[in-house]
Homo-oligomer: A and B are copies of this chain.
Amino acid sequence: MVISRTLLTQLEEAAQIARGLTMDAVEEAKSGHLGLPLGCAEMGAALFGYLLRLHPSEPRWINRDRFILSAGHGSIFLYVWLYLSGFALDELSQFRKLGSNLPGHPEFTVTPGVECTTGPLGQGIGNAVGFAISEKMQIGRLPKGQKILDYHVVCLCGDGCLQEGVSHESCSLAGHLKLDNLILIYDANGVTLDGMLEKTQSEDVGKRFEAYGFFVQTVDGHDLKQFIEAYELAKNSTRPNLIIARTIIGRGIGEVAATPKAHGEGGIPFIKAAKKRLGLPSLPFYISESLKKFFHERRLQWKETYDLWLKEFRRERRSYGKKFPKLWEKKPGENIMDEVFFPHCERISTREAGGEILNALATKNSEIITGSADLFSSNRNYLFRGGDFDGNNFLGRNVAFGIREHAMGAILNGIAYDGVFRPTGATFLVFSDYLRPAIRIAAMARLAVIYIFTHDSIAIGPDGPTHQPVETLTALRSIPHLHVIRPADGEECVGAYAIAYARLDGPTALVLSRQDLPLLGLENSRAGTLKGAYIARRETLYPKVIVLASGSELGLVLEAAEEFQEHVRIVSVPCMEIFETQSEAYQQSVLPETCPLRLAVEAGISLPWYRYVGPKGKVISIDTFGLSASGKILQEYFGFSVERMGDEIRTLLEKA
């Protein structure tokens, strides 16, 4: 492909003007990062001015190239180029101001054209791998030889992203899966916040990525032609791509460029002089008429491409008729609550029950996919009729993530951002810590990811404290917008999956047992679970004591309280977050103020239960780490026995 001199000149002008806009925005905000946006200005011009296929008036067009800024601190880079491209952004002077759509780091749904929430370093790379998987999965479901989807997932990252462990996990998997639709651009500016990169890193990044199976190219990031050629090569490669672009951080502000001072706001005092040297007028937020015209024409090209594509899309859809997959149609969540039964057993672990329910759900809902961090056989979330997703089978619905929990979390987010598939993923509850940074962003970006966390307490037994969650439930419950559901038996598990699947405005963590639990035979388990908490067994006279429990402990308290049925109410609390959203009237009907004597029972730390038991109440909990012994011995050892519960209830009743 020959690139015209005129185009190059125009892109060069665009880069300089983008530099000016960057400086103006950061100066106006008095905060923000100048380093990457200035250093990547030429690449920004090449991408948005020439290489990327977008459609600003249809920012979620399914065949757009996905551009992800993993180095989210350079947000103004993204905003400047989206703004120039014609996306519906606020004026750049609103950067980092309350209520604008130009927040400090890019945020999903806040800004048209922003594909995902980035900032915590490395996440965007995992997201990009998720987007790339999502495209492959879509292509796998389209008729062979389809021409509907051929976009690329382009991710711009920095030194920080690549130092983070999640980049290793994600890219090793991307190489394994041969995701040739992935183009990772590495802004190799050799500088980090604290100093020159050489102070902390000596690795040969290119060699590392070759080891992963990437096609690696190195270019001068300021040389438009070199970069464009490398990008075109990458588009046609049969491997995932890394373009190492050597850049000068903060280029354009000579006083700080190529130094750590350029990274953040260090260049602000020199902006006036810098703009002058770049040949830019001093008035802020200047865009030349020629550049306006250039992007106007670019939008027309984009529209033309889009219109052509839309024709093709309609033609294909017509020609395949009913065989054409319904990948992009939004559909309401269906209720499977009344369709799943457990007639075949009296005891079942909730992980096992969960596996059955997930399989039932997935049979009816083809958008569900799942995965595990090497624990399918323990998590039991394998879709038996789903097939394995890999480089040779894009139809597969089971993703073997390997022992890469953090990448799994970031990839699930990527798939969720893309909005076509409904991602679920599994590991042991205790290892939710490994993907916690990604869970946090799923919650913030309101992604409907479902986490399947099995092996939920000390009851797992001999693996010992490293594998026994005690604080983990609480740590998850502390994340805003995340629902944490810990069902007590197979029936509550049906309710848990039903509400998790129906939820589209945030993630859900399903917390499941390894050990078998009795089916409790409660009338209202499924429906009650949808309320977050419910009366599992009502007192026969009036309540003097309310016993609250979640998960495997519910069966224990039901048994322990059998002899006190007249005055003891048992409340099941599978999900605190959902219960907290119920009406005051419902909450009072379950936990009436008039009965302040309470006992809470959970095989984890006591902290979250004080909200319900109050100062006169009692919590049977584990506020230390576990031990290595059989699950039964440990439950006894830590006081989770019917006898102990009975004693505590009796003591409370005596106080009443």
Contacts and interface: CB of A to CB of B under 8 A. Distances in A.
Interface of A: 29, 31-32, 72-73, 96-99, 103-105, 107, 117-121, 159-160, 163-169, 172-173, 175-176, 192-195, 199-208, 210-213, 372, 374-378, 388, 390, 400-407, 430-431, 433-434, 436-437, 440-441, 443-444, 461-467, 470-471, 474-475, 477-481, 593, 596, 605, 607-608, 610-611, 614-615, 623-625, 627-630, 633-634, 637
Contact of A194 (B105, B165, B374, B406): B374
A437 B433 contact: yes
A433 B439 CA distance: 10
Contact of A203 (B175, B431, B611): B175
Contacts of A431: 120, 437
A390 B198 CA distance: 11
Contacts of A474: 474-475, 478, 607
Contacts of A117: 466
Contact of A624 (B103, B481, B596): B481
A467 B119 contact: yes
Contacts of A378: 193
Given A200-B401, A436-B433, A167 B168 contact: yes
Contacts of A479: 471, 475
A277 to B, nearest CB: 27
A463 B105 contact: yes
A105 B107 CA distance: 41
A442 B573 CA distance: 31
B163 A176 contact: no
Q: What 6 pairs across the A-B complex have the smallest Cβ distances?
A: A165-B165, A168-B168, A200-B402, A103-B628, A119-B466, A98-B629
A480 B167 contact: no
B193 A625 contact: no
Contact of A163 (B72, B105, B118, B169): B169
Nearest to A168: B168
Contacts of A104: 462-464, 466-467, 628
Nearest to A636: B98
A400 B165 contact: no
17 contacts: A32-B462, A119-B464, A119-B467, A120-B434, A120-B467, A172-B203, A192-B374, A194-B372, A194-B374, A194-B400, A195-B400, A200-B403, A204-B211, A431-B437, A474-B478, A477-B607, A481-B625
Given A200-B401, A463-B105, A163 B159 contact: no
B169 A165 contact: yes
A649 B348 CA distance: 51
Nearest to A31: B462
Contacts of A207: 207-208, 210-211
> Which of A159, A212, A481 counts the most B-chain CB atoms under 10 A from its CB?
A212
A210 to B, nearest CB: 7
A510 B607 CA distance: 20
Contacts of A208: 207-208, 211-212
> Which of A203, A377, A400, A630 counts the most B-chain CB atoms under 10 A from its CB?
A203
B403 A121 contact: yes
Contacts of A462: 29, 31-32, 96, 104
B199 A605 contact: no
A637 B98 contact: yes
B471 A444 contact: no
A193 B427 CA distance: 12
Given A119-B463, A199-B390, A436-B475, 18 more contacts: A98-B637, A104-B466, A105-B466, A107-B464, A160-B403, A168-B168, A172-B201, A192-B403, A194-B374, A194-B400, A201-B402, A204-B211, A208-B211, A474-B475, A480-B605, A481-B624, A596-B615, A607-B611
A476 B405 CA distance: 20
Nearest to A593: B615
Contacts of A211: 203-208, 211
A624 B105 contact: no
B98 A164 contact: no
A347 to B, nearest CB: 19
A407 B465 contact: no
A400 B199 contact: yes
Contacts of A163: 169, 172, 402-404
A452 to B, nearest CB: 14
Contacts of A73: 463
A614 B431 CA distance: 32
B444 A466 contact: yes
